[in-house]
Amino acid sequence: MPELTELTAVRLVEGYRKGEFSPVDATREALERAERVQPAVNAFVRLDADEALAQAGESADRWQRGEPAGLLDGVPVTVKDILLLRGHPTLRGSRTTDPHGRWAEDAPSVARLREHGAVFLGKTTTPEFGWKGVTDSPLSGVTRNPHDVSRTAGGSSGGSAAAVALGAGPLSLGTDGGGSVRIPAAFCGIFGLKPTYGRVPLYPSSAFGTLAHVGPMTRDAADAALMMDVISGPDARDWSALGPVAGSFVEALEGGVRGLRVAYSPSLGGQVAVRPAVAAAVRRAVERLAGLGAYVTEDDPDFTDPVDAFHTLWFSGAARVTQRFGPHQRELLDPGLREISGLGARLGALDYLAAVDVRMELGRRMGRFHETYDVLVTPTLPLTAFEAGAEVPAVPHPRLRSGGGALIGHRRWTGWTPFTYPFNMTQQPAATVPVGVDADGLPVGLQIVAARHRDDLVLRTAHALYEAGAAGTPVRPGGN
């Protein structure tokens, strides 16, 4: 029998169909892996072996009868502890959340996975209310990187990224309001997709509003496409959900990139200082795209850093999260979250609407950009994973150039994520693909962005890199 924790969801389903192994086998191995790596990486806030094995047993019976429930019947999955999972508390990384209650409802994406027979292993770690780009919280502590446990897994979907990278289930659901799927996926060496806003319904709605997307975190683009075929589509609880998908994301993987118009922006027009190892790995992958027949042009989208507008939107959301908290609850908060909540509470409606204006102009510029180019390729992040337990690197890495040309560092997580949050503001689909490692063995991510509603192009471009052997990192069995 193959090492089941090494297999993708596509391969697991194929094995179930052929009778090579059962969902019980795969679930048992995934649980054993999760329990073994948890002390080192802290990827989970909750594992439920009894429930997962019971679900796997029911799936095995369905496969034996030749009647699978859906596309992911028997595949082990995990869920970020921001999203509702029926029967389990959703604490959102916060000591302010009361764990007692009925917890009787699934989030839309979770409900679709359940309908298709997925096996739920448990919930993964998140910073408090998903507020920052690393994963640590007063409730569950620090989540560490599978490739070096002294480094961060990134965030805010860091537990999900670490779980997939370590083989504790090939699929996980994450959320992304400013990079929170792509950041940890890049740091941990897996694939992560932020779909077009509304393509995957979200309920309850995020306090961070229409910045927040739900997306798959997987071993490769083929698994993400399969997962998207399950979790996409409307849900009556999300008023902003998009209509039904035309066709299949899996089918859209075919065709390669020959003739695709690719804009390669290594530094957003010199605005971002990218570490040499990251820049080199991304450039090699871009050259591979050209070798596969894509028309690659080095060009930059026409915008300057929208971080001030993003902060207005993000800090306002943080203030909304904590609006009804009394003094005792505020004392329980992550100090950084408490600080930005205070800043957000001092913003007015006109400040917020001015940020919306910036957002709309950014969207217009990117819409025009994609009249010329099918996809934009950038580094996902300008650096690899830094020390665990910190919001920003201890030794600041120069990031953006100020108006006077001087390099400036960063104090908040947005200082080292300049490639990710702009595309939450525009609601575009964006994915990260692992394309190598630096001298310390830490993964490097390449970001692929397409026009709104063209998730298929993002997935097809990423899949071409995997098929060509230019993407992917091995599963880390021990979290060392």
What are the strands, taking DSSP E only, across 42-147? 44-47, 76-80, 119-124, 136-137, 141-142, 144-145
Reference 419, options 395, 444, 452; nearest CA is 444
- Cβ–Cβ < 8 Å for 152, 387: yes
Reported as type and span, the H/E element at residue 441 is: none
Local structure of 110: helix, strand or coil: helix
Reference 4, options 18, 17, 24; nearest CA is 24
Write phi, then psi, for 7 (nearest 5 degrees).
-90, 150
d(C-alpha 84, C-alpha 106), whole Å: 5
β-strands 171-176, 76-80 pairing: parallel
Neighbours of 242 (CB within 10 A): 18
Local structure of 218: helix, strand or coil: strand
Reference 446, options 364, 401, 382; nearest CA is 382
Q: Cis omega before residue 341 (within 30°)?
A: no
Query: What are the residues facing 445 on neighbouring strands?
Result: 434
Reported as type and span, the H/E element at residue 268 is: none
Cβ partners under 8 Å of residue 48, min gap 6: 88, 120, 121, 122
Residues marked as catalytic: 80, 156, 180
Cβ partners under 8 Å of residue 445, min gap 6: 182, 185, 186, 187, 379, 380, 381, 432, 433, 434, 435
Which whole-number Å values give the CA distances from 333 to 1, 72, 318, 363, in the listed order? 47, 37, 11, 34
SS3 content of the chain, % helix, strand, coil (to 5): 40, 15, 45
Residues of 346-362 as b/e, b for ≥16 C-beta within 10 angstroms?
ebeeebbeebbebbeeb
Q: Is 440 exposed, middle or buried (0-12, 13-18, 19+ CB in 10 A)?
A: exposed
d(C-alpha 215, C-alpha 245), whole Å: 15
